């Protein structure tokens, strides 16, 4: 063997040994923590019982850090039909960055240790059967996304929810049984953009200026909507449906120049649609059905160039149907049912080219034949509902009527 061959062999052996040293091998502490987690399960995790059982870095759903430490960085077992209780041992995965156990059948309480992981950026335990309170002591300095929605959690939202969590961007707590006042300390989440609190029993005062999405639906909230809503200048989606808000909708939306969706159905609002809303160039969805709004319907369609869905059913709007609605050039879904509209369908609806779905049940309109002759010109119309309308009139037998997509 020549010297050159010997050097090549030495080089190969050196590279092999180096790669072996750098290969991932489960850290003993993390292995023990995961073993304790498995003991709390009532189901088997596919792929965790194999010849590499002692090396957790090779288990399905686990990603270890790229260094040779063998510390678990990610644990993703979403939608695995797992059941059982969550072990406090998960809190011993001290280098964990992401934990996703969503859409399973876990029950019992939330492990307190999960709220003290210094490197955790994403925690998703949504859509399980977890119950009891949220830990009152929370210290997640790296957290960016926290989702424990669609469980059976109860009690109050901890004041420490934003303690040392300045990077939190998304907080989803909807569909639980949380109650009481929203803590003012939530304002310490200075980076929060997405806040979902719907279907709880919370009392809410919001002072989070970076919010882009806010959902408060089904919270039994009541009283007036404050003019201070105008301070949420970055809102894109705002949902306060199925509460007990009353009074007029404040004319405070001029400063919310990015708002695309305002959903406030099933409340007790009265009065008119505010001017700052009926002139909005950014709104795509306006849903105010099942309130007590009244008077003539006035929308500035020349300004509302993006409005695609308008839901006003179940109010007290009266007078003729506005003839300028076809000027809302993006409007495809229009529900005016259960109001007090009278008169004929406007002839301008012949030019309602964007309209796909039109609902006009339980009103007092007249001249069904004329209405059908108008709507046959709407080439994109696929759904037309006139239930309990055009009282005393017969469906015309006009053979010339033709609907392209109906």
pLDDT in tens, 184-197: 788 788 888 898 98
Q: Is pLDDT above 90 for 150?
A: yes
CA-to-CA distance for 319 and 156, rounded, in angstroms? 47
Q: DSSP code of 249? A: P
User: Is residue 203 very low, low, confident or very high in pLDDT (cuts 50, 70, 90)?
Assistant: confident
Q: At CA 126, angle to CA 124 and CA 129, rounded to 5?
A: 130
Does position 149 have pLDDT exceeding 50, yes or no? yes
Residues 357-403: pLDDT tens digits?
Answer: 999 999 999 999 999 999 999 999 999 999 999 888 888 888 788 88
The confidence band for 219, taking pLDDT boundaries of 50, 70 and 90, is: confident
What CATH architecture applies to the domain 24-133?
Answer: Alpha-Beta Horseshoe (3.80)
Mean pLDDT score, 2-14: 38
Task: Provide mean pLDDT across the span 89-101.
Answer: 96
pLDDT at 51: 46
Task: Say how far apart CA 184 and CA 164 lie, in whole Å.
Answer: 15
Point out the least confidently predicted range of 3-12, 135-144, 388-397.
3-12
- Residue 120, C-beta contacts closer than 8 angstroms, at least 6 positions apart: 96, 97, 98, 99, 114, 140, 142, 143
Q: Residue 3's pLDDT is what?
A: 41
Q: Which tokens go with 405?
A: 């997509």
Q: Which of 38-52, 55-69, 281-295 has the lowest mean pLDDT?
A: 38-52
- For the cut 70, the answer to whether the pLDDT of residue 109 exceeds it is yes
Q: Give domain 141-220's CATH number out of 3.60.40.10, 3.80.10.10, 3.30.1490.190, 1.10.10.10.
A: 3.80.10.10
Instruction: Tell me the percentage of the chain whose pLDDT exceeds 70.
Output: 91
Alpha-carbon gap, residue 108 to 103, rounded angstroms: 15
Write down the domain spans for the chain: 24-133, 141-220
The torsion angle over the Cα atoms of residues 361, 366, 368 and 372, rounded to 10 degrees, is -80
Mean of pLDDT values over 134-149: 94
pTM listed for this prediction: 0.78
| 108-111 contacts at long range (C-beta below 8 A, 24 or more positions apart) | 108/132, 109/133, 110/86, 110/134, 110/135, 110/148, 110/153, 111/86, 111/87
pLDDT of residue 200 exceeding 90, the answer is no
28 pLDDT higher than 80: yes
| pLDDT reading at 18 higher than 70 | no
Task: Report, as an integer, the average pLDDT of 107-132.
Answer: 96
- The pLDDT value given to residue 5: 45
**What band does 127 get if pLDDT is binned at 50, 70 and 90?**
very high
Residues 112 and 140: beta-carbon distance below 8 Å: no
pLDDT value of residue 204? 67
Over range 338-342, report the average pLDDT: 95
Give residue 205's pLDDT band: very low, low, confident or very high (50, 70, 90). low
| pLDDT score, position 66 | 79
Hey, do 24-133 and 141-220 end up sharing a CATH topology, with the first three levels equal? yes
Whole-angstrom Cα distance, residue 251 to residue 312? Answer: 18
């Amino acid at each position: 063997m020549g010297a050159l061959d010997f050097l090549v062999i030495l080089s190969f052996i050196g590279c092999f040994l180096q790669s072996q040293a750098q290969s991932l091998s489960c850290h003993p502490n993390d292995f023990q923590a995961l073993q304790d987690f498995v003991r709390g399960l009532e189901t088997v995790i596919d792929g965790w019982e194999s010849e590499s059982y002692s090396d957790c870095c090779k288990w399905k759903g686990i990603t270890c850090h790229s260094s040779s430490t063998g510390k678990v960085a990610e644990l993703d077992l979403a939608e695995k039909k797992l059941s059982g209780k969550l072990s406090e041992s998960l809190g011993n995965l001290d280098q964990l960055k992401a934990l996703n156990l969503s859409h399973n059948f876990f029950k019992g309480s939330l492990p307190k240790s999960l709220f003290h992981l210094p490197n955790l950026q994403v925690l998703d335990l949504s859509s399980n059967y977890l119950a009891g309170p949220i830990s009152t002591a929370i210290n997640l300095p790296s957290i960016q996304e926290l989702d424990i929605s669609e469980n059976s959690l109860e009690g109050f939202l901890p004041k420490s929810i934003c303690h040392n969590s300045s990077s939190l961007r998304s907080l989803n707590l909807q569909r639980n049984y949380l109650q009481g006042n929203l803590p003012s300390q939530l304002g310490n989440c200075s980076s929060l953009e997405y806040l979902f609190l719907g279907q709880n029993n919370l009392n809410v005062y919001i002072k989070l200026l970076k919010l882009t999405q806010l959902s408060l639906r089904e919270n039994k909230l009541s009283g007036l909507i404050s003019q201070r809503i105008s301070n949420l200048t970055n809102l894109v989606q705002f949902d306060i449906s199925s509460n007990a808000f009353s009074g007029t909708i404040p004319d405070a939306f001029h400063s919310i120049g990015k708002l695309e969706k305002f959903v406030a159905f099933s409340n007790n609002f009265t009065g008119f649609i505010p001017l700052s809303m009926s002139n909005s160039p950014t709104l795509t969805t306006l849903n105010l059905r099942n309130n007590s709004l009244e008077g003539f319907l006035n929308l500035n369609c020349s300004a509302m160039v993006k409005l695609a869905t308008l839901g006003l059913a179940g109010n007290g709007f009266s007078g003729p149907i506005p003839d300028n609605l076809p000027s809302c050039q993006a409007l495809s879904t229009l529900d005016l049912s259960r109001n007090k509209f009278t008169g004929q369908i406007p002839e301008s609806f012949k030019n309602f080219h964007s309209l796909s779905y039109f609902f006009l049940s339980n009103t007092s309109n007249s001249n069904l034949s004329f209405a059908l002759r108008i709507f046959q010109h709407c080439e994109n119309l696929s759904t037309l509902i006139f239930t309990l309308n055009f009282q005393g009139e017969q469906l015309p037998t006009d053979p010339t009527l033709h609907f392209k997509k109906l």
